[in-house]
Amino acid sequence: MQATSNLLNLLLLSLLAGLDPSKTQISPKEGWQVYSSAQDPDGRCICTVVAPEQNLCSRDAKSRQLRQLLEKVQNMSQSIEVLNLRTQRDFQYVLKMETQMKGLKAKFRQIEDDRKTLMTKHFQELKEKMDELLPLIPVLEQYKTDARLITQFKEEIRNLSAVLTGIQEEIGAYDYEELHQRVLSLETRLRDCMKKLTCGKLMKITGPITIKTSGTRFGAWMTDPLASEKNNRVWYMDSYTNNKIVREYKSMADFVSGAESRTYNLPFKWAGTNHVVYNGSLYFNKYQSNIIIKYSFGPGRVLAQRSLEYAGFQNVYPYTWGGFSDIDLMADEIGLWAVYATNQNAGNIVIGQLNQDTLEVTKSWNTGYPKRSAGESFMICGTLYVTNSHLTGAKVYYSYSTKTSTYEYTDIPFHNQYFHISMLDYNARDRALYAWNNGHQVLFNVTLFHIIKTEDDT
């Protein structure tokens, strides 16, 4: 602060000195006059200045110039104060980083002392574990209610990843058990944090990310939202009619490369593209009917089938693009759903909650939105979201909450990159929208407004 005062005094003197007395004679009544200047014991400059009379000062050009210069000095003073505060903050950060660097240096010395304690296999296992954790970061970043905790998690993951990457080549003598426990502890804390995220309201759709380009203009692809973390199988159903073949891939990577693991020849042809895989079974609409089929992939047979009472079929109440999309089966955090239309509801959308074993409609809601005016729809946390088109410019235009039995008009745009969407379904495990976009299999990320539970809420 003393240095700042000295700088301001010196600036003031230099500005006063800039007024050339040889060109303009300034008397005490016409302008500012420096009476004396000195330096105090702390090294600060002290000067005595006589201000002009107020009535003359307003008419004097040099006085106005001086006032402007003094205002600039004041602004510079404020800027210097801000820079001083930032410098102090950055200095503390540097001290902290110095301590961390010393700690890292000590760890690397320990690694250099003995390079044969840790096996390459152990590091590879830990590296794979970290690779599984890293995709959770973008999800957590959406929920800024707990930003400080998320930032801490990110730093720990990055630090551990950096250690693993560096050690993997060196095979140093790092305490494997300690590192393994840190990874497990971090994983537990991340999972606990994810469990605190309750159902949320759709706020934004971003993307898409193109996973693959294959098949016809119409089709469906999906994963099981109830599958375990290690089960990442993908199912692929090309076309909206005249097909019974379901292709299975063990992972997303196999799906991209085209490495099929199994094919299923269904006993019936399907209608539309609005199928869903839920808890190990495929649910689809039987061709030329309003019958819902439950086909289990495990035994490879039909476990249940039931007619969806009064539901239109065979392009009576399809989405805007047609394609026998009268009956849309979907799943969310709450369970299994069917979206369709009936004559009794004047062709408007009906939401039916299904029993996953018997396919019985346990409860239904009649909306006022015409099914034929909807581009696609999907469920998130018991709320149906409806798009207004399947073409360019489509957006989520309408939503209906089964919790409150109320609706609202929305305006949530999304990028229809390939101009024609024939399938759009939400996956609760991935918190993403799976879409078939004119022969391209794409993913959309969703941003939900979440409430994070605290210990008092449980």
In 18-60, where does DSSP find H-type helix?
Answer: 54-57
Cα 360 from chain centroid (whole Å): 36
In the chain, helix, strand, coil percent, each to 5? 35, 30, 35
User: Which long-range contacts (C-beta less than 8 Å, at least 24 apart) are formed by 182-185?
Assistant: 182/156, 183/126, 183/129, 183/130, 183/133
Q: Is 218 helix (H, G, I), strand (E, B) or coil?
A: coil
Candidates 315, 323, 305, 328; CA nearest to 377 is: 328
| 454 vs 458: CA distance, rounded Å | 7
> For residue 268, what are its two tokens?
């019936």
38: CB partners within 8 A, 6+ apart? 45, 46, 47
Cis peptide before 135 (omega within 30 of 0): no
> For residue 231, what are its two tokens?
């089960």
> For residue 175, what are its two tokens?
């305490």
pLDDT score of 142: 53
Q: Read off the pLDDT of residues 173-213 as tens digits, 9 standing for 90 and up.
A: 455 667 667 777 776 776 666 655 668 899 999 999 999 99
Is the CB of residue 149 less than 8 Å from the CB of residue 198?
Answer: no
Mean pLDDT, rounded, for 318-333: 97
Residue that wins the pLDDT comparison between 101 and 357? 357
What integer best gives the mean pLDDT of the chain? Answer: 80
Question: Which residues are paired to 265 by β-bridges?
Answer: 245
Left if phi > 0, otherwise alpha if psi is -120 to 50, otherwise beta: which for 315?
left
Residue 101 amino acid letter: M
Q: Is 6 helix (H, G, I), strand (E, B) or coil?
A: helix
Side by side, the strands of the sheet bearing 395-401 are: 377-380, 383-387, 395-401, 406-413
Q: How many CB atoms lie within 10 A of CB 14?
A: 11
Mean pLDDT, rounded, for 370-377: 98
According to the 3-state scheme, what is the secondary structure of 386-418? EECCCCCCCEEEEEEECCCCEEEEEEEECCCCC
Residue range 201-449, CATH number? 2.40.128.630
Residue 292 amino acid letter: I
What is the total residue count of the chain? 458
Q: Read off the pLDDT of residues 99-114 as tens digits, 9 standing for 90 and up.
A: 777 776 777 667 666 5
Dihedrals phi, psi of 62, to nearest 5 degrees: -65, -35
Residue that wins the pLDDT comparison between 27 and 84? 84
Burial (Cβ within 10 Å: 0-12, 13-18, ≥19) of residue 451: middle
Q: How far is CA 43 from CA 1, 9, 74, 78, 87, in A?
A: 12, 11, 21, 21, 22
Report if pTM > 0.75: no
| 222 vs 434: CA distance, rounded Å | 7
Side by side, the strands of the sheet bearing 281-285 are: 276-278, 281-285, 291-296, 301-307
pLDDT score of 100: 72
> For residue 358, what are its two tokens?
């018997």
- Please report how the helices 61-113 and 147-170 are oriented relative to each other, as an axis angle in degrees rounded to 10: 50
Q: Read off the pLDDT of residues 233-286 as tens digits, 9 standing for 90 and up.
A: 999 999 999 999 999 999 999 999 999 999 999 999 999 999 999 999 999 999
Residue that wins the pLDDT comparison between 458 and 83? 83
